[in-house]
Amino acid sequence: MTTAVAAPFRFFALHVVRTRQLGPSLVRVTFGGEELREFHSNGCDQSLSLFIPAEGRTEPVVPIELGDGWWQAWRELPDDVRAVMRSYTLRALRRDPDEIDIDFVLHGVDPGAPTPAGPASRWAARAAAGDRVLLLGPAIADNRAIRFRPTDDADLVLIWGDETAVPAASAIIESLPAGTRARVWLEVQHAADIQDLMTEADAEITWFVRDQRADEGTEGSPMALGALRDAQLPPTERPYVWIAGESGCVKQLRRHFVGERGIDRRSVTFVGYWRQGMTEEQLRAAE
């Protein structure tokens, strides 16, 4: 007897339904498409691989007809043909009609920005209804691209994220059940990027705003580190920590929680979402 096992991830052909500016550096893009019927996710920090058209093209080219061979064939496509792959987070999934939201940080799009925008930031800044993308996403709700995994007996949830992780942190916070104690530190570029978050949890959320700094992006050190060092956390025996954002900042905060606070490293989930000075291709190559 053989048991059929459903593939956890697959490609979805989607189009932009609408966009909404959430703040000076955050835009929400809502995607639709018939194939979303097969998209299933438990949310939280569900990560997705988004394929946008190469510069000057209107369709993302990925040889998905090759099945498992798509990756090698995609990598071998000429630069001006190959769709650009970038990692993003599912912010929301709705039914009737089937829609998903992804919140994009618009970095480097202002004239004279110290680091010019990458292709995804540029694409999001110009996105309009009808634009086509491909998404490699989950067909099974509980999948390994959800990394937020507190143990059942965790008695305190600690969260840090920069603006790239605000979508993931927001979805996580909204999913926390009543009675969960959470302390959250989020960093954004401008005061107007701060989002209203709804949760049933006992969550204390502190926002840090970087716009007094001359540079763009998370430069060097997380703003929250000083506050965290001074913070008196509620008494806890089994804390769970989730940290995501600029890699250097993530590293420093992990050191703080594990090294300075003595939290068991197995209870710390940490993910570098981007690295100052490196494109996502360069990051993948370095890893």
Which residue ranges make up the site for ligand FAD (CB under 6 A)?
47, 86-89, 103-105, 107-108, 115, 117-121, 164, 167, 216-217, 271, 273-280
Cβ atoms within 10 A of the Cβ of 244, count? 29
Least distance to ligand FAD, CB of residue 47, Å? 4
80 contact partners, CB below 8 Å, separation of at least 6: 54, 55, 56, 57
> Are 203 and 176 spatial neighbours (Cβ–Cβ below 8 Å)?
yes
Least distance to ligand FAD, CB of residue 280, Å? 4
Least distance to ligand FAD, CB of residue 256, Å? 21
Least distance to ligand FAD, CB of residue 75, Å? 17
Cβ proximity to ligand FAD, 123 vs 156, nearer residue: 123
Least distance to ligand FAD, CB of residue 168, Å? 6
Cβ proximity to ligand FAD, 102 vs 203, nearer residue: 102
Cβ proximity to ligand FAD, 174 vs 280, nearer residue: 280
Cβ proximity to ligand FAD, 156 vs 188, nearer residue: 188
Q: Name the region of 160 (left: φ>0; alpha: ψ -120 to 50; beta: rest).
A: beta
- Whether the upstream peptide bond of residue 24 has omega within 30° of 0, thus cis, is no
- Cβ-proximal residue to ligand FAD, closest one: 118
DSSP per-residue string spanning 4-44: ----SEEEEEEEEEEEEEEETTEEEEEEE-GGGGG-----T
Least distance to ligand FAD, CB of residue 84, Å? 7
Of 145, 6, 30, nearest to 98 (Cα)? 30
Cβ proximity to ligand FAD, 41 vs 87, nearer residue: 87
Phi, psi of 194 (to 5 degrees): -65, 135
How far is CA 207 from each of CA 26, 87, 117, 190, rounded to the nearest angstrom?
Answer: 15, 24, 24, 10
Q: What is the Cβ-side half-sphere exposure of residue 257, based on CA atoms within 13 angstroms?
A: 25
Cβ proximity to ligand FAD, 44 vs 156, nearer residue: 44
